[in-house]
Chains A and B, each alone.
Chain A
């Protein structure tokens, strides 16, 4: 069964460092998303991406965050200067039909900012 894959599974970084989280969505999917979940809290929407541009972003997704689809397979989330409060599990998701369709989530990348 096709799946969304994310790397790294866990990254530890120092505050102020740049981090890039990578995702390989399911191959025929066109809609891509990033969510995050701080330990013990809800899953929060960050951003959606379609046709090489951001469709929607939340208040969390400020200037420190960016997304990119550098080639036909990868979808990345960059955090320019990490803060302690960026420590969370970051989930990538993709879907074939936009929000009406089923979102397939990856297993997540755990980011720990020290």
Chain B
């Protein structure tokens, strides 16, 4: 039973912003939204997480809607090295494991 829904794939032009949507309509008040990515077959890499406020770090921005039923990960200036599978994950609390879905395969094209 998937807690999140993401598009299967998307393309993005190098140098442009990549906006990755995620639906989590059944999210509860204490659940966090996490984003990880996996480049080729490497280990997953943490990107960002948030509860209800928008968050920004050196890699990306996370925009969470006011009702928290969806979010968008923004890669501000996509590069070819950002080509990866991006996972949106909802975690209940500190005792909840990371459960990976199929994610969105993002291809950045020159």
Is residue B68 within 8 Å, beta carbon to beta carbon, of the partner chain? no
Interface residue SS majority, chain B: loop
- Please pick, from B32, B49, B98, B101, the residue contacting A45 in the complex, using a CB distance under 8 A: B98
Contacts A43-B38, A45-B97, A108-B41 given: A102-B102 contact, CB under 8 Å? no
The answer to whether A104 and B38 touch (CB under 8 A), given A99-B93, A99-B96, is: no
User: Are A106 and B98 in contact, CB atoms less than 8 angstroms apart?
Assistant: no
Q: Is the CB of B94 within 8 A of A108?
A: no
> Is A18 located at the chain interface by the 8 A CB criterion?
no
**Residue A91 CB within 8 A of the other chain:** yes
Contacts of B98 in A (CB 8 A): 35, 45, 99, 103
Q: Which of B67-110 contact A (CB under 8 A)?
A: 87, 91, 93-102
Tell me the B residues contacting A by CB distance below 8 Å.
Answer: 32, 38, 41-46, 49, 87, 91, 93-102
Additional pairs, 18, CB under 8 Å, beyond known A93-B43, A103-B44: A35-B100, A42-B101, A43-B87, A44-B100, A45-B97, A56-B97, A98-B94, A99-B91, A99-B96, A100-B32, A100-B94, A102-B46, A103-B46, A103-B98, A105-B44, A106-B43, A108-B41, A108-B42
Tell me the A residues contacting B by CB distance below 8 Å: 4, 33, 35, 37, 42-45, 48, 55-56, 89, 91, 93, 97-100, 102-108
